[in-house]
A and B are shown apart, each in its own frame.
Chain A
């Protein structure tokens, strides 16, 4: 099975700081990592390869520094890596990004399974995966928490849902977006690290993809959305849990609180 995994290099946002003046993330000094959901996608791909054979290719769009994320994926056991990189791509939102990735995957050629993470921890949009599926005109299942069966022509997967789950059979070629429950990513191995730098990371620039891309489809020009403001999450005081009351008492207790806070 020919598997492609899309990964993104993101700042490790455990201790994120926002510039109060510009509202942008302060990236200097922040360690960068492979986006956690994407790493889960790598693990899922590698275990499918171990089960039924095949190849795993990782693709990342980003600046030249994203090379190290691809080397890490190679050191985990991926077979080949492609970096989609160019000045023209800078400033792309999710819509433009999925268009660029779709063009890159078309250039790559035939695949059976495309995996992305559900969402990246820096943007939290969860949009690129599903958009990519649409642009490539392939079926997709998002929020995959388990791959129950895998064969060359189909997969049976379990999709997490708000109030339960769905078991879905899907024909290949298809796209899955991975969530944390799907797999625990393996570590790199030392020999994997040694080999990772002997392999070639292919670079796709704008010129390589221009059959499928126009300059006004990408970058800030091709991005219908703009980030208006970013701010760190504020920690709120823990809520109060009401217990062991009658329905009327619950209503009264809530109304009293709302009045105390001058909400009503």
Chain B
């Protein structure tokens, strides 16, 4: 970034994400939502363009871009399809970041490289049926036996799990210590004992893969432990803090995508003898929405810039997600209203965007959890 402007490099990357979304995703987004199935062909196309390794170093097979460039990908893809946004986000900000931050050199070469060079897809298994915002409820267990661990338990709402190759799984290695006895492991889908259930039916981001995963006596060699034993909670919280920048960008994308659709529609739709874009109510609504979206985007960029500069970014990331997700819900709801009855029909994409927006206030930390993080950083 240069001031409030993108650099030339970031502009060119944005152009790539934009044209890819328009040409490869726009036409299939509705079908993927209807069939609740993500296109594997699309995943391959994105891998070929190196979308799955954006903010990671070239020495590990990544694209060598910054976090801000990654937020541009999240926004541009989510403008057209929020499910694509979350598919990219969970892989990048949650799965890869854990290995990038805490992996040994050997682990990075072995496990991070295929994820960021476009050969494999990752997911992140923390949430359980009884452990959501309160991660201390985690019951998955990894018991050490000799030079390996035996993993048992269940994770739920595991995004990408339907087709992911690599799972970052959080399990208790010392049950008596609660969250302070949690460790992180790199688990392969193909390991005996890993079984992925069917897709969980959802309100929005229906194209994304989101299943329950069961782990039954999965034998994990010691080199699958990520970071130190019993330090997994910190790893999970760190990944989620960074992930929120991506979700903020996804929220901005959903909102801007819906507003762009609405602007096109109100210029064409005629009522009372003129295009409804000529009514002051319409113009005021659109002006308000664009202002809120711009504010949300600047907050996302601020958080990304702080992360790129290795500054303290967690409260900034929480703020951008809190604000942007609220804007996404508000803007998509208003856009459906501007479309009237057509907005409610599945013929136009704004109803899908309104359904997709809601999850941004929930996953990777609810809006309430964001307030806890922000308030906690203010020494109140």
| A71:B63 contact, CB within 8 angstroms | no
A189 nearest in chain B by CB position: B50
Count, chain A residues at interface, CB 8 A = 14
Number of A-B contacts (CB under 8 A): 56
B19 near A187 (CB under 8 angstroms)? yes
Report whether over half of chain B's contact residues are helix, strand or loop; otherwise say mixed.
Answer: helix
Q: How far is the CA of A190 from the CA of B66 in the complex (A)?
A: 11
Interface size in chain B (residues, C-beta < 8 A) = 22
CB under 8 Å from chain A, chain B span 23-71: 48-51, 53-54, 58, 62-65, 69
Residues of A within 8 A of B62 (CB): 191
A68 within 8 A of B: yes
Task: Give chain A residues whose Cβ lies under 8 Å from the Cβ of B65.
Answer: 190-191, 193-194
Chain B residue with the shortest CB-CB distance to A198 = B9
A165 at the interface (CB under 8 A from B): no
Tell me if A's interface is mostly helix, strand, loop or mixed. Answer: helix
Interface set, chain B 1-18, CB cutoff 8 A to A: 8-9, 11-13, 15-16
Which of B20, B63, B69 contacts A187, CB < 8 Å?
Answer: B20
The answer to whether B48 and A189 touch across the interface, beta carbons within 8 angstroms, is: yes
B19 near A68 with CB under 8 A, answer: no
Pair A75/B12 contact, Cβ less than 8 Å: yes
Verify A188–B49 contact, CB threshold 8 A.
yes
- Contact of A190 with B8 in the complex, beta carbons under 8 Å: no
In-complex Cβ contact of A194 among B9, B11, B51 (8 A)? B9
Residues of B within 8 A of A72 (CB): 12, 15
Which chain B residue has the least Cβ–Cβ distance from A196? B12
The interface residues of chain B lying within 8 Å CB-to-CB of A231 are: none
What residues of B have a CB within 8 angstroms of the CB of A194 in the complex? 9, 13, 63-65
Chain B CB within 10 Å, residue with most, of A189, A192, A194, A196: A194
Contacts of B19 in A (CB 8 A): 187
A-B contact pairs, 30 of them (CB 8 A): A68-B8, A68-B11, A68-B12, A71-B8, A72-B15, A75-B16, A187-B16, A187-B19, A187-B20, A187-B48, A188-B12, A188-B16, A189-B48, A189-B49, A189-B50, A189-B63, A190-B16, A190-B49, A191-B58, A191-B62, A191-B65, A193-B9, A193-B13, A193-B16, A194-B9, A194-B13, A196-B9, A196-B12, A197-B8, A197-B12
Known contacts A196-B12, A197-B9; 17 additional CB pairs below 8 A are: A68-B11, A71-B8, A72-B15, A187-B20, A187-B48, A187-B49, A189-B49, A190-B16, A190-B54, A190-B63, A190-B65, A191-B63, A192-B50, A193-B13, A194-B9, A194-B13, A196-B9
Residues of B within 8 A of A (CB): 8-9, 11-13, 15-16, 19-20, 48-51, 53-54, 58, 62-65, 69, 73
